[in-house]
Structure 1
């Protein structure tokens, strides 16, 4: 039993109902042929956050116009061949859905609406193509009217901006990041660190999605969009750096426990405590952060030619720890400064922060072209099958069935398995039919004015609207609401009788059932299948990065991998522990893959400055890494990822010796840090050998 609606939900429902009634009233006054479409559109675009409503409205308007133009063009071109027209519309819907799934921003609504809007306009015109222009124009007017009314009402009447919600989520994520940083520096257990990393990845991805709506928001935060995006970009780097610090601390402590030295040099311990105190103190200043970074610089060990030194990896790991700690402090400093700047509302950034807003990474989301193509093909197949049955039988409601296939194949295409969502919508559409029949056949015939119509609709629509803001109940309430509104639309065509109601309802049900069956046969995949596909995409990109020579190929890699970590964590939560199965989440560490990729990118960037002497060893190492990740994909070793070959460990040793022999330079130190990170990520069980006289770090 759902809990009663709260004040915010009731206000949202009242605003949505007011927008729907305003759209219906204007549509009736304008004499539009299907005014209830305007009412339904007002609910389609409704949302609890005004910024999201406005951002989606812009793209919905563009998508509606584009879809209408496509419908008219296809109908005019294929007016004498209804079979070819259906094929053309099906191809258009599939193409638009494919493009929509390759864009995980609000812009995706443009392409999705362009697809199924063409179906909404073209399918009814199959039997009367001479009315296509008038029908297309009317649909555009009705849909745009609903979008305009919803946008105005939600933006003007008690608007709830996305800015405050985003800032609250941003503050919570920053607090969690500081807590997780302290846990990592204090040596928290591996299971706790892994859960923290996955949560951080999900939070950063959600912040990126929310910030896409920010330019359209009604709050003052919209003027700080660049700063918010720069802050999320900085947080993107926090996850791999935090994981690297934790891993290096663990490795050095393990080495110290074996020989009784404690692992960490005495001079590093007080600085490490100072770092922890600064992170725990919300009032810590940027000047203190800069002092900590300078102290860490002084603690960096001096590297030499470690060709024959068995403890060379220990010093390299120590250098990596100091370097990553310095980076960690810098990230937290930048995040705090950017958050303070956003809080101040000052549009002009300090000089040292401005480059962060201009260097925003592109291609920040993982995209799956294969699944997008397959989803578009499934929509095309469903439309062709239902339309073939419709044309062959001459069924008068066949166009409604074809429209439902287009709509439902598009709406649920982003799910791993769309079938449960479509099935839920089918069940609640069936439940809505008695309510719709009661309104259509009993209540509305006795209403003789618009105020009476609005009053009769208010109890049902106000109640259902209260549950739309709840993610767990949104689908059910929208299905009931659309089912009732769809029944009311029969008034538009003067067919408000029981036979027409049954015929129209059967068309909707057949269309939803067809979409469900086609989806189950062609498109449904499980969380484990999607997780393997995500893993393979990451491995494929790492192999490509190791094989190329241009560092520019890595643009956006860290953001895409972080997005994959968040997507994987959500699917692993669905799968649960499955030891011995084909995919065992407990045996997979996607964050380690992210760190491997970042270290590969770092090696690619610095190797031109290392000279020819180090080039063959680095080339051999990168080739081995590329081969290892290609082999993972070929063997599908996601169940229990096989360890890298021993030859790769030898390549790492050779690369460290060659790099250590290079002349001292910042690039050489960066290469050593990257090699130490690769060794720990690829061979976490290989212990370090501590030096006999640990003098690597001095005060």
Structure 2
């Protein structure tokens, strides 16, 4: 039974799709059903996302349409079309996998739009101009109609939820630091892991915003806050915990206990006090902390400053970079693999079509181009395409049934819309549920694409069914590409990410010319958050990944500090020589492929051993990588 909360947005989506279809039909555009499909695709939970996705979809469509139009002007040979499409899709998919957010969506839209129009133009010679123009015009109509029908009912993007989560994670970081002030505890370890998980979730949500300058500035400031928070975790691990041999009742112990209580009170008061007042108090505590723990004091001060800017919706001085920031991870290796996959799959299927002359080959290539491009930057694209296959098969079967049985003898546009409206409404309703949103979306889109409302029916029922099978086969071909041809899944992405992290550690340890440790740290911090996000999708021990990520942050903070000490000649010459040797060994170990796959574990054990030393006989049995990590931390 349909529930009202899901039924109302479903009705709005269905009305938007049918209205866009009607407008495109009245304007006599080629393939007016493209407008209906666009109307369904651009519906978003917030107004800012609606406008942003619409904008980038239009940009990608315009670029892809222009490319297809130029291609169709040059050739009508299936073989040449296949070769050109393979190169174009490979390039767009590669770029799309290097970009982030909806900029990536624009590049991927350019890839599949070119294939869709090129194949449509091949099937309809002499209509290249109308198809290219009609595609762009239908996109515009779909966007405008959806905006008119749904924008007034779509909530504005609110930064309140983001601010609430940032406030909470900041309070947890201060509370965690207070727990470290006395002694290592299970509560501190659990809170530490929760902070990193929440930071990873927040970072993943920052792209779901809008195009406004205020939100972009807020997003930038939020990432600076996350960078400051990660640095505090790393330095807290190294400096904030009391030495094992510290005597009870000593002045240092009393100070740490009082300091811990101060931090606990500050953490509890964050959500009650005005932000500016709370940050002023934290900065005062940070100044006092700096007298005992200089690095931690500075990190705490920077966290308060970043928090003040974010939650007061302020702006950094444009001439001055924030103390901490994140440089977003770009996986060039996986982007290259995605480009090869996209071009190769299109080339294989296109070559078969060119050699056999199968009349439904263009339809298969249309569906394949969408699947192999739009979902290529997902963490687990095969899973998406597997769900889409179910939806595509269901929607195509319903479309054939509807066209052959319900629309038999029906030629009027109004009657056609009346018949298909319940199917579109049912699909829009299923799109409102989390479990069915993916198959329902593609079932509805494939239903519209196969039935092609607004286009005169000139093919027999058998040909329509074969065309539907060809399109579903395109989805299956994409699934094979993602799983067998050039496979990709969260585990593969995780290995690639670990390799990038290993390279960062190696470069920081080796002190290569022209390499700024702070820049490497900013890259590595974002990669750590990506690693934690992947742990959700990968069949791994997430607790171990979080523990290793914390240890890695502490290790890189150690290396960065050692480099600073070496640069300022703060070591005795012999100690400096030994330290350089140890850093060189870490760099060499990080560059070895066997280390990359288990990079975090020996160094995590090493840093844990510093925090909670092992019994002497067990500590002597530690392996070489752990020993190197221990020596480096001890040298600070």
What range describes the TM-score normalised by the shorter chain of this pair? 0.7 to 0.9
For residues 593-613 of structure 1, give each alpha carbon's deviation from its aligned partner in whole angstroms, at most 9, with x where no partner exists: 2333344445556755x2597
Deviates more, 1:261-270 or 1:527-536: 261-270
Quick one: distance in 2 between partners of 1:4 and 1:599?
Answer: 58
How does 1:226-625 map onto structure 2 within 5 Å?
226-250=217-241, 252-256=242-246, 264-282=252-270, 283=273, 285-297=278-290, 299-300=291-292, 319=293, 322-332=294-304, 334-336=306-308, 338-339=310-311, 341-342=312-313, 354=317, 359=322, 364-445=327-408, 452-489=415-452, 492-495=455-458, 497-548=460-511, 553-554=516-517, 556-576=519-539, 585=544, 589-602=548-561, 604=563, 608=567, 610-611=568-569, 621=579, 624-625=582-583
Residue 343 of structure 2 aligns to a residue whose secondary structure is: helix
* Deviation of the 1:35 alpha carbon: 0.8
- Name 2:43's counterpart in structure 1: 46
Residues 1:205 and 1:614: Cα distance change in structure 2 (over 3 Å): farther
Cα pair 1:643 1:683 within 8 Å, conserved: no
Deviates more, 1:531-540 or 1:551-560: 551-560
Residues 1:225 and 1:438: Cα distance change in structure 2 (over 3 Å): same
Cα pair 1:433 1:483 within 8 Å, conserved: yes
Cα pair 2:227 2:326 within 8 Å, conserved: no
For residues 377-432 of structure 1, give each alpha carbon's deviation from its aligned partner in whole angstroms, at most 9, with x where no partner exists: 11111111111222222211110011111111112212344223222211222222
Quick one: distance in 2 between partners of 1:38 and 1:140?
Answer: 9
Quick one: distance in 2 between partners of 1:362 and 1:83?
Answer: 48
* Deviation of the 1:481 alpha carbon: 0.7
Residue 254 of structure 1 aligns to a residue whose secondary structure is: coil
Cα pair 1:443 1:456 within 8 Å, conserved: yes
Aligned match for 2:589, one of 631, 645, 650: 631
* Deviation of the 1:178 alpha carbon: 1.0
Residue 155 of structure 2 aligns to a residue whose secondary structure is: coil
* Deviation of the 1:295 alpha carbon: 2.6
For residues 576-635 of structure 1, give each alpha carbon's deviation from its aligned partner in whole angstroms, at most 9, with x where no partner exists: 556xxxx99469612322333344445556755x25977896576356435424423414
Cα pair 2:46 2:156 within 8 Å, conserved: yes
Residues 1:525 and 1:110: Cα distance change in structure 2 (over 3 Å): closer
* Deviation of the 1:114 alpha carbon: 1.0
- Name 1:657's counterpart in structure 2: none
Quick one: distance in 2 between partners of 1:147 and 1:555?
Answer: 43
Quick one: distance in 2 between partners of 1:558 and 1:425?
Answer: 39
* Deviation of the 1:500 alpha carbon: 2.8
Residues 1:470 and 1:119: Cα distance change in structure 2 (over 3 Å): same
- Name 2:197's counterpart in structure 1: 199
How does 1:48-197 map onto structure 2 within 5 Å?
48-79=45-76, 81-126=77-122, 129-155=125-151, 157-162=152-157, 164=158, 166-186=159-179, 187-189=184-186, 191-197=189-195
Residue 96 of structure 1 aligns to a residue whose secondary structure is: helix
Cα pair 2:558 2:632 within 8 Å, conserved: no
For residues 308-356 of structure 1, give each alpha carbon's deviation from its aligned partner in whole angstroms, at most 9, with x where no partner exists: xxxxxxxxxxx3xx531452254135414531x23xxxxx75xxx5469
For residues 134-177 of structure 1, give each alpha carbon's deviation from its aligned partner in whole angstroms, at most 9, with x where no partner exists: 3222222223322332244333x223222x2x421331232133
Quick one: distance in 2 between partners of 1:616 and 1:22?
Answer: 79
- Name 1:683's counterpart in structure 2: 630
Residues 1:58 and 1:337: Cα distance change in structure 2 (over 3 Å): closer
* Number of positions where the alignment pairs a residue of Structure 1 with one of Structure 2: 607
Q: Which consecutive unaligned segments of at least 5 residues does structure 2 have?
A: 608-624
* Deviation of the 1:58 alpha carbon: 1.6
Cα pair 1:255 1:263 within 8 Å, conserved: no
What's the TM-score, normalizing by structure 2? 0.84
Deviates more, 1:384-393 or 1:261-270: 261-270
Deviates more, 1:356-365 or 1:380-389: 356-365
What's the TM-score, normalizing by structure 1? 0.77
Quick one: distance in 2 between partners of 1:267 and 1:393?
Answer: 82
Quick one: distance in 1 between partners of 2:258 and 2:323?
Answer: 35
Deviates more, 1:18-27 or 1:457-466: 457-466
Residues 1:72 and 1:152: Cα distance change in structure 2 (over 3 Å): same
* Deviation of the 1:127 alpha carbon: 5.5
Residue 66 of structure 1 aligns to a residue whose secondary structure is: helix
Residue 436 of structure 1 aligns to a residue whose secondary structure is: helix
Residues 1:236 and 1:470: Cα distance change in structure 2 (over 3 Å): farther
Quick one: distance in 2 between partners of 1:68 and 1:361?
Answer: 42
Residue 99 of structure 2 aligns to a residue whose secondary structure is: coil
Quick one: distance in 1 between partners of 2:359 and 2:540?
Answer: 51
Residues 1:564 and 1:435: Cα distance change in structure 2 (over 3 Å): same
Residue 110 of structure 1 aligns to a residue whose secondary structure is: helix
For residues 475-532 of structure 1, give each alpha carbon's deviation from its aligned partner in whole angstroms, at most 9, with x where no partner exists: 1111211121122217515236412321210210221122222222123244333222
Quick one: distance in 2 between partners of 1:136 and 1:116?
Answer: 13
Q: Which consecutive unaligned segments of at least 5 residues does structure 1 have?
A: 217-221, 301-318, 343-347, 649-677, 690-699
